[in-house]
């Protein structure tokens, strides 16, 4: 019964039954104690965890190794490393499993230097680290993007000739990806033969998250050449890359593969296909997939509404939003975020404020950081800069860099230098190397004809070494990708890309746009 309560997250009930069990003279076994300790492995339950620790120590099995490991893990997950260290120090034994629990606890709380020192101490005691030891360390390095220690751990993996099992290989790749070292992650494709689908998928996902979707598509081609068969997770990843790059032709090919029945048509996969079509500008096919979907969940409706928002079709988004509620599907935070984003993009203040109030008052949804930032952006776009600033000051979020950056961008349009100064002060307070903030403020000062202050700002930016990597765009020509940024084209025949860009420019101008290139 206790294990059942624990597995269903009913910690209070589990604790009550555990106490009753002891009051009736029944002694828990080590496995039961270990299971109930897992239920209190979060900061909110630290106090109850300590009380439980005291009760367990009074049991005959309180000194068992499995309980000591569970206690170290519980305290580490609660963020109470001093308690975890105390339990470790009171162990009559320090074997591989107790060392692993302590090292993983410190690493996952961001104390990576201390964790690495424990790893070295473990080795000095004659206890050889294994794959589990390194996996715990690498998870911490990935979570906190500490590449230097991650590389040291990789070196130790090679030094100890550790078995490269699935979990260790994935942890190393994930660490390099999360630390932004994609080249190191890709070396595993060359050094490790017969990689699993999961590893290919992990590396492709890393490229997408690092805004390198073109490389993800190239890796997909290599994966197919290696004889790896497609599954749902691979398809979702490649469809995401198609969405990012606007590669409609490949997206349609993958959709056809799904229609042939080669994989299971899960709701998540079909939602990703809807998103792919809408992101590529093909709203008609996105609607076709949506209407043919047999099991529409909230995420399906959100994908369709977001697709309408992406294509600036407010009326269609509103109709789907209304139909969603007519079919007894409850809108969630994502639904309203899609609607608010569309209102913001179109500068529709009245509808945006109405939907925001409806979300809180009629649906009982508490606004998140993203919802408030949509309203701040909307107020800024429509010229209500001071109201946007007042809203920012009233929010409980201390470090709302997105909101202040959004407001600063509108200060440029409305030439509000004083408010711009307030924005940049908030931005650089905690992110003094935020190059985008300096660039926006520089434009505000130039537009308001304060060249001297703009020069001073450039000196300040140089002093803190705040430089921004140039934005990279890509274009597909004859099934080939070409990446380029301002005044530069990479690895491409200039005439080919230039001709394509000229045609795009003429097309934009025919639609009323005035491109600056």
**pLDDT tens, residue by residue, 23-67:** 887 877 888 888 888 888 888 788 888 888 888 887 766 567 888
The confidence score (pLDDT) of residue 459 equals: 67
The confidence score (pLDDT) of residue 497 equals: 66
The confidence score (pLDDT) of residue 337 equals: 95
**Residues 6 or more apart in contact with residue 175 via CB below 8 angstroms:** 138, 139, 141, 142, 147, 150, 153, 154
Longest dimension (CA), the chain: 86
| Helices assigned H by DSSP within 109-146 | 112-124, 131-143
Q: Which burial class, exposed, middle or buried, applies to 363 when counting CB atoms under 10 A from its CB (0-12, 13-18, 19+)?
A: middle
Q: Which burial class, exposed, middle or buried, applies to 146 when counting CB atoms under 10 A from its CB (0-12, 13-18, 19+)?
A: buried
Quote the CA–CA distance of 350 and 378 in Å, as a whole number. Answer: 10
| Residue ranges per structural domain of the chain | 194-288, 296-353, 368-468, 473-510
Quote the CA–CA distance of 38 and 17 in Å, as a whole number. Answer: 16
DSSP for 500-517, please give it. HHHHHHHHHHHTT-----
DSSP for 69-118, please give it. HHHHHHHHHTT-HHHHHHHHHT-S---HHHHHHHHHHHHHTT-HHHHHHH
The confidence score (pLDDT) of residue 517 equals: 45
The parts of the chain modelled with pLDDT lower than 70 are: 60-63, 93, 191-194, 397-399, 430-435, 438, 447-449, 451, 457, 459-498, 512-517
Quote the CA–CA distance of 411 and 448 in Å, as a whole number. Answer: 10
CA distances, 386 to each of 68, 194, 408 (Å): 57, 59, 12
Quote the CA–CA distance of 138 and 132 in Å, as a whole number. Answer: 10
Q: What pTM does this model have?
A: 0.72
Best CA proximity match to 52, nearest among 101, 93, 11, 80: 11
CATH class of 368-468: mainly alpha
């Amino acid at each position: 019964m206790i294990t059942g309560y624990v597995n269903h997250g009913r910690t209070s009930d589990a604790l009550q039954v555990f106490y009753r069990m002891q009051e009736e003279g029944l002694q828990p076994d080590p496995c039961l104690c270990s299971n109930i300790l897992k239920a209190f492995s979060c900061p909110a339950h630290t106090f109850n965890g300590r009380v439980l620790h005291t009760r367990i120590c009074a049991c005959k099995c309180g000194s068992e190794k499995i309980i000591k490991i569970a206690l170290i893990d519980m305290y580490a997950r609660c963020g109470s490393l001093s308690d975890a260290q105390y339990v470790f120090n009171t162990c009559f034994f320090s074997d591989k499993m107790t060392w692993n629990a302590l090292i993983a606890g410190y690493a996952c709380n961001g104390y990576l230097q201390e964790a690495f020192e424990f790893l070295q101490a473990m080795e000095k005691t004659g206890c050889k680290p294994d794959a589990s030891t390194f996996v715990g360390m690498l998870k911490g390095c990935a979570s906190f993007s500490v590449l230097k220690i991650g590389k040291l751990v990789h070196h130790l993996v090679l030094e100890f000739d550790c078995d490269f099992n699935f979990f260790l290989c994935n942890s190393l790749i994930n660490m390099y990806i999360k630390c932004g070292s994609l080249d190191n992650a890709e070396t595993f494709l060359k050094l490790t033969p017969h990689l699993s689908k999961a590893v290919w998928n992990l590396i492709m996902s890393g490229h997408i998250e690092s805004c390198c979707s073109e490389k993800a598509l190239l890796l997909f081609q290599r994966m197919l050449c290696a004889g790896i068969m497609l599954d749902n997770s691979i398809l979702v990843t490649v469809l995401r890359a198609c969405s990012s790059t606007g590669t409609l032709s490949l997206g349609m090919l993958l959709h056809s593969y799904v229609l042939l029945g080669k994989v299971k048509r899960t709701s998540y996969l079909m939602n990703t296909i809807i998103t792919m079509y809408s992101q590529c500008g093909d709203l008609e096919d996105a609607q076709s997939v949506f209407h043919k979907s047999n099991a529409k969940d909230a995420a399906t409706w959100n994908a369709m509404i977001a697709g309408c928002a992406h294509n600036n079709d407010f009326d269609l988004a509103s109709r789907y939003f209304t139909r969603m509620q007519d079919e007894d599907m409850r809108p969630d935070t994502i639904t309203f975020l899609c609607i608010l984003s569309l209102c913001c993009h179109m500068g529709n203040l009245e509808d945006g404020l109405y939907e925001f109030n409806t979300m809180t008052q009629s649906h009982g949804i508490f606004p998140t950081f993203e919802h408030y930032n949509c309203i701040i952006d909307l107020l800024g776009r429509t010229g209500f800069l001071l109201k946007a600033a007042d809203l920012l000051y009233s929010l409980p979020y201390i470090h709302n860099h997105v909101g202040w950056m959004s407001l600063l961008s509108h200060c440029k349009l409305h030439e509000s230098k004083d408010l711009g100064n307030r924005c940049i002060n908030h931005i650089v307070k905690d992110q003094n190397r935020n190059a985008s903030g300096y660039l926006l403020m520089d434009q505000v000062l130039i537009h308001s004809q304060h060249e001297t202050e703009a020069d001073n700002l450039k000196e300040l930016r140089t002093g803190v070494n705040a430089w921004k990597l140039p934005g990279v765009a890509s274009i597909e020509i004859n099934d080939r990708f070409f990446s380029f940024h301002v005044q530069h084209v990479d690895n491409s025949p200039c005439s080919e890309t230039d001709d394509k860009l000229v045609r795009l420019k003429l097309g934009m101008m025919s639609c009323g746009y005035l491109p600056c290139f």
